[in-house]
């Protein structure tokens, strides 16, 4: 679903005849009225200071806007200030991956037979080999199991191994996020269902019935590598610990209500994928031993393989749904392809920072991951706008960005709004970013980046306040309203 920006109610009030005079301070642009692009009658463009003050959003605002075709910088405000970009980071990650791997690159997951196959018996080990595919799901594993059977394997005398060494093992993308946040899973070169497990609960006789499964569009195999226990308490809602490689969860009975479901992160991704494959193989009559991790890349005969969609399609979905695990995995895959020494997202992001400076001339890129989840990441608006202008020349990013629909004067989403915006949003509590391209009614296309953040408010978040802090939704609504007001200003001032 396309995200929307709240139209500023304050803007209509400021422009009404009963409002406080709009130009109390010195203007930054001409006050000459121009034709209103969003309705009849003349309209003067509010200056930047007026818009920021009227938004009432705390913290720092920075932005830059340029002609997308020429790269000419049109306007900026604190444009060289280092700001947390949140998921706007994924736009740069997409360019990094496309430049390194190419839009047609596909990730391959395979099953390797290490030994000879005779009369349906594999005398040796069978290895599920991850290839860094961030989109691998249970349906794809079912296809691998089918291919193993088609290859004539009915029995495996050796071990069943799982290998995820195509990418580094990472326990969590960001350690400051809630432990149960599905958007903050573990990372590995063998990852399944975005490294999430489906927790479902239903009320039963005197207790809840709970299941943990690896569902996809066609399959719902239950797993034991992640387990849930309902306990009598009100808070915390979830607790987690790993015991002997098994994710042990507890959930507060008082939070369950009449039933429901949610995704939880997986912390043992290779074993998770291995257990699901073991179950699917059993459905084909192939009995495998319990999966065991191996650190050694398997050498043998590929008896089954599945390929991902082309990278360009993966990135389009990443930008639409803002999937953190996809950003981290494709970013690390790009860094590894460039020969960078990797220990995790931070070292890979350092390689991307260097690439952005050398290949794109981007100043101020100081990112600590590829998704924007890490709070220490910083980016400059003017540097990103220059990158967007260059990318527009080669039509690399704009075609895979999602449309962002603005709101009309009635406050509702207006899919026919005169401004056409294709951009990447970025949202953390008290952090809001928007960057991409806007096409004005007169035909001018502009590249822009807007960052708004109150890092002080964010740093004060502790414990349960990190999930739903007071004031965060109101702050975010104000920030998004300011973003729309700025887009409308630029259309008035700089459109052809």
The 10s digit of each residue's pLDDT in 249-273 is: 999 999 999 999 999 999 999 999 9
Rounded Cα–Cα distance for residues 198 and 211 (Å): 8
The 10s digit of each residue's pLDDT in 225-247 is: 999 999 999 889 999 999 999 99
**Nearest residue to 327 via CA among 17, 84, 92:** 92
Rounded Cα–Cα distance for residues 335 and 310 (Å): 18
Rounded Cα–Cα distance for residues 266 and 192 (Å): 9
Q: Is there a common fold for 9-103+311-494 and 108-308?
A: no
CB burial class (10 A; 0-12, 13-18, 19+) of residue 155? middle
The two tokens of residue 68 are 């997308």
pLDDT value of residue 279: 98
Structural contact between residues 267 and 247, judged by C-beta atoms closer than 8 angstroms: yes
- Whole-number average pLDDT of the chain: 90
pLDDT value of residue 235: 87
The 10s digit of each residue's pLDDT in 289-341 is: 999 999 999 999 999 999 999 999 999 999 999 999 999 999 999 999 999 99
pLDDT value of residue 148: 98
Q: Which backbone phi and psi does 343 adopt, to 5 degrees?
A: -120, -10
Question: Which numeric CATH code is attached to 9-103+311-494?
Answer: 3.40.710.10
Q: How confident is the model at residue 496 (pLDDT cuts 50, 70, 90)?
A: low
Structural contact between residues 447 and 392, judged by C-beta atoms closer than 8 angstroms: yes
- Does an H or E element contain 348, and which? helix 345-360
Q: How confident is the model at residue 463 (pLDDT cuts 50, 70, 90)?
A: low
Q: How many CB atoms lie within 10 A of CB 347?
A: 15
- Does an H or E element contain 150, and which? helix 138-150
For the whole model, what pTM was predicted? 0.89
Q: What DSSP string describes 12-67? A: HHHTSTTSPPTTSS--SS----EE-TTSSSEEPPPPHHHHHHHHT--SEEEEEEEE
Fold entry, domain 108-308: 3.50.80
Q: How many CB atoms lie within 10 A of CB 81?
A: 18
Average pLDDT score over residue span 277-289: 97
pLDDT value of residue 464: 53
Structural contact between residues 11 and 54, judged by C-beta atoms closer than 8 angstroms: yes
Any idea which residue has 């409002």 for tokens?
19
Query: Residue 291 carries which DSSP code?
Result: P
Q: How confident is the model at residue 7 (pLDDT cuts 50, 70, 90)?
A: very low
Average pLDDT score over residue span 77-101: 97
Q: How confident is the model at residue 444 (pLDDT cuts 50, 70, 90)?
A: very high
Residue spans of the domains in the chain: they are 9-103+311-494, 108-308
Model confidence at 14: pLDDT above 90: no
pLDDT value of residue 18: 29
Average pLDDT score over residue span 199-224: 95
The 10s digit of each residue's pLDDT in 397-412 is: 999 999 999 999 888 8
The two tokens of residue 34 are 């121009």
Q: How many CB atoms lie within 10 A of CB 171?
A: 11
The 10s digit of each residue's pLDDT in 341-359 is: 999 999 999 999 999 999 9
pLDDT value of residue 3: 44
Model confidence at 458: pLDDT above 50: yes
pLDDT value of residue 42: 41
What SS3 state is found at 214? coil
- HSE-up of residue 109 (Cα within 13 Å, Cβ side): 34
Q: What DSSP string describes 437-450? A: EEE-TTS-EEEEEE
- HSE-up of residue 248 (Cα within 13 Å, Cβ side): 6
Q: What is the CA angle 25-31-35, rounded to 5?
A: 140
Q: How many CB atoms lie within 10 A of CB 200?
A: 17
Average pLDDT score over residue span 42-51: 81
Structural contact between residues 331 and 97, judged by C-beta atoms closer than 8 angstroms: yes
pLDDT value of residue 43: 53
């Amino acid at each position: 679903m396309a995200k929307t920006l709240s139209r500023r109610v304050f803007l209509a009030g400021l422009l009404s005849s009963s409002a406080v005079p709009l130009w109390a301070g010195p203007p930054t642009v001409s006050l000459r009225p121009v034709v209103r692009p969003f309705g009849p009658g003349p309209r003067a463009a509010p200056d930047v200071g007026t818009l920021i003050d009227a938004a009432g959003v705390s913290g720092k605002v920075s932005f830059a806007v340029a002609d997308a075709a020429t790269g000419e910088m049109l306007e900026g405000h604190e444009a060289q200030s280092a700001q947390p970009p949140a998921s706007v980071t994924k736009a740069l990650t997409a360019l990094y991956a496309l430049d390194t791997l190419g839009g047609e690159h596909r990730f391959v997951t395979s099953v390797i037979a290490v030994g000879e196959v005779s009369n349906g018996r594999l005398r040796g080990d069978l290895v599920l080999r991850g290839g860094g595919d961030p989109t691998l799901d249970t349906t794809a594993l079912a296809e691998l199991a089918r291919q193993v059977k088609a290859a004539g394997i009915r029995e495996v005398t050796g071990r069943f191994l799982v290998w995820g060494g195509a990418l580094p093992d990472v326990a969590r993308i960001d350690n400051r996020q809630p432990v149960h946040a599905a958007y903050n899973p573990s990372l590995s070169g063998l990852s399944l269902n975005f490294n999430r497990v489906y927790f479902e609960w239903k009320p039963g006789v005197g207790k809840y019935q709970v299941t943990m499964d690896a569902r996809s569009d066609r399959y719902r195999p239950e797993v034991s590598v992640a387990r849930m226990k309902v306990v009598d308490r009100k808070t915390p809602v979830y607790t987690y610990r790993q015991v002997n490689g098994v994710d042990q969860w507890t959930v507060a009975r008082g939070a369950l209500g009449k039933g429901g479901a949610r995704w939880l992160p997986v912390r043992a991704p290779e074993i998770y994928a291995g257990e699901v494959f073991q179950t699917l193989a059993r459905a084909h009559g192939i009995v495998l031993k319990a999966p065991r991790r191996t650190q050694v890349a398997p050498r043998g005969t590929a008896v089954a393989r599945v390929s991902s969609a082309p990278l360009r399609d993966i990135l389009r979905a990443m930008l639409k749904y803002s999937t953190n695990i996809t950003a981290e995995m494709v970013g690390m895959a790009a860094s590894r392809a460039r020969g960078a020494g990797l220990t995790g997202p931070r070292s890979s992001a350092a390689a991307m920072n260097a690439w952005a400076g050398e290949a794109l001339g981007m100043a101020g890129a100081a990112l600590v991951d590829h998704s924007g989840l890490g709070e220490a990441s910083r980016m400059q608006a003017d540097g990103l706008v220059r990158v967007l202008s260059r990318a527009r020349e080669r039509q690399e990013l704009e075609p895979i960005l999602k449309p962002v629909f603005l709101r009309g004067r009635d406050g509702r989403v207006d899919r026919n709004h005169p401004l056409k915006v294709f951009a990447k949003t970025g949202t953390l509590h008290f952090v809001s970013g928007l960057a991409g391209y806007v096409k004005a009614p007169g035909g001018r296309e502009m590249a822009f980046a807007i960052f708004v953040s109150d890092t002080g408010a964010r740093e004060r978040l502790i414990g349960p306040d990190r999930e739903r802090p007071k004031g965060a939704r109101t702050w975010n609504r104000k920030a998004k309203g300011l973003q729309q007001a700025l887009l409308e200003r630029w259309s008035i001032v700089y459109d052809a």
